[in-house]
């Protein structure tokens, strides 16, 4: 394993790589002034952070938060930063319902598709539900966006869509393919679709860090480790939101954007959370990988590298690398893979503490 570079959140060139203060972000915020926005799955952690970012840095005319759970919408509505905001609209609906999506997208300029069934064991036990939401829901978003004349759509993906080992990953791979192919269908509507693929979000619900913390708070004698070699990509929620916004500005349609983010061993996370706790190895769960991958060797043939991200280019006849001629890019090397175990950027305990602080203030 290489540990060539330690990730430092406080370093300006790394911490601000996707932020609205950068060149890309400033152009986007000008574009979003007076624009209409829709976020599917908008009451989740990402949706809350995205709405807060838009209201802080931009001046959108309308932000539609679409989700199925009216209670989560109520909880979001009464947050001090959102309460009675004139731009916010709370829209009950399900991505399984195309006609409802079309109503939500009326006069909308930009869509971020964050709705998904994400829990791996639940997807394995309820495969039809997973397919209906993650695959058929993606198809409905594409059709509704074209029908409504939306300008740009960004779909959130996951590292589990690269060489998928479980149904959730396979469903997100299918979703990625649907959004990329959506650019063939838009025709004169000129709706453009792209995908953002990133790793685990530090401190998010269901992730290993709050799980370890809960065990420590409950007085557990030891922390369970699936495998001492296991590694994962990590990104903070605010970085994920800013990355999506920056991709929305530079997209041409059909790309899969992958941020350059650090890796960390799960064993090191356990040591950072509870330095004095012993560990017990419990084995890898069904559908779980030892290391995560975001760009496969086969994808690398169509991948370019930019200073802060990779772009998996679409295999379209009309696509040309001249699309990014105004940017600093180069093709990745033959046989390249972007895997969490061979990453050249790693998190140490101090850096993890900084990322967790970023989560707390996001």
Q: Is 163 left (phi over 0), alpha (psi -120 to 50) or beta?
A: left
- Give which of 248, 64, 289, 82 is closest to 165, Cα–Cα: 289
- Give which of 293, 294, 288, 296 is closest to 165, Cα–Cα: 288
Q: How far apart are CA 213 and CA 261, in angstroms?
A: 23
Q: How far apart are CA 235 and CA 241, in angstroms?
A: 10
Residues 6+ positions from 178 with CB-CB distance below 8 Å: 135, 138, 139, 142
Burial class (CB in 10 A: 0-12, 13-18, 19+), 57: middle
Three-state SS at 100: helix
Q: How far apart are CA 33 and CA 35, in angstroms?
A: 6
Q: How far apart are CA 144 and CA 98, in angstroms?
A: 6
Residue 66, φ and ψ in degrees, nearest 5: -105, 130
Helices (H), the chain: 12-15, 23-32, 45-57, 70-77, 98-104, 120-125, 127-131, 137-148, 167-185, 208-217, 237-250, 266-273, 297-300, 349-361
Q: How far apart are CA 272 and CA 32, in angstroms?
A: 40
Indicate which residue of 160, 172, 260, 289 is catalytic.
Answer: 160
Residue 238, φ and ψ in degrees, nearest 5: -65, -35
Active site residue 260: no
Spatial contact of 62 and 36, defined as CB atoms under 8 Å apart: yes
Catalytic residue IDs: 160
């Amino acid at each position: 394993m290489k540990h060539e570079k330690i990730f430092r959140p406080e370093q300006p060139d790394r911490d601000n790589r996707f932020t609205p203060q950068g060149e890309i972000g400033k152009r986007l915020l000008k574009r979003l002034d007076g624009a209409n926005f829709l976020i599917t799955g908008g009451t989740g952690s990402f949706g809350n952070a995205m709405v807060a970012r838009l209201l802080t840095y931009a001046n959108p005319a309308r932000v539609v938060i679409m989700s199925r759970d009216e209670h989560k919408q109520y909880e979001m509505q009464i947050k001090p930063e959102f309460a009675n905001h004139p731009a916010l609209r709370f829209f009950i609906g399900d991505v399984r319902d195309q006609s409802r999506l079309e109503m939500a997208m009326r006069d909308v300029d930009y869509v971020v598709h964050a709705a998904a069934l994400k829990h791996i064991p639940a997807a394995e036990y309820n495969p039809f539900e997973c397919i209906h939401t993650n695959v058929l829901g993606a198809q409905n978003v594409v059709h509704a966006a074209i029908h409504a004349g939306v300008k740009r759509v960004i779909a959130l993906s996951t590292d589990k869509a690269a060489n998928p080992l479980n149904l959730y990953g396979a469903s997100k791979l299918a979703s990625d393919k649907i959004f990329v192919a959506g650019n063939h269908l838009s025709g004169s509507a000129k709706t453009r679709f792209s995908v953002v693929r990133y790793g685990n979000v530090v401190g998010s619900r269901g992730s290993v860090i709050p799980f370890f913390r809960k065990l420590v708070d409950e007085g557990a004698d030891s922390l369970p480790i699936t495998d001492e070699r296991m590694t994962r990509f990590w990104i903070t929620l605010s970085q994920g939101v800013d990355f999506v916004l920056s991709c929305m500005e530079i997209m041409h349609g059909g790309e899969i954007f992958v941020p350059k983010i650090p890796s960390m061993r799960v064993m090191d996370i356990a040591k950072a959370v509870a330095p004095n706790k012993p560990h017990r190895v419990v084995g890898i769960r069904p559908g779980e990988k030892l290391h995560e991958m975001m760009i496969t060797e086969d994808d690398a043939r169509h991948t370019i590298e930019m200073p802060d991200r990779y772009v998996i280019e679409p295999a379209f006849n009309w696509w040309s690398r001249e699309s990014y001629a105004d940017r600093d890019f180069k093709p990745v090397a033959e046989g390249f893979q972007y895997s969490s175990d061979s990453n050249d950027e790693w998190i140490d305990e101090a850096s993890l503490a900084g990322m967790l602080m970023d989560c707390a203030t996001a």
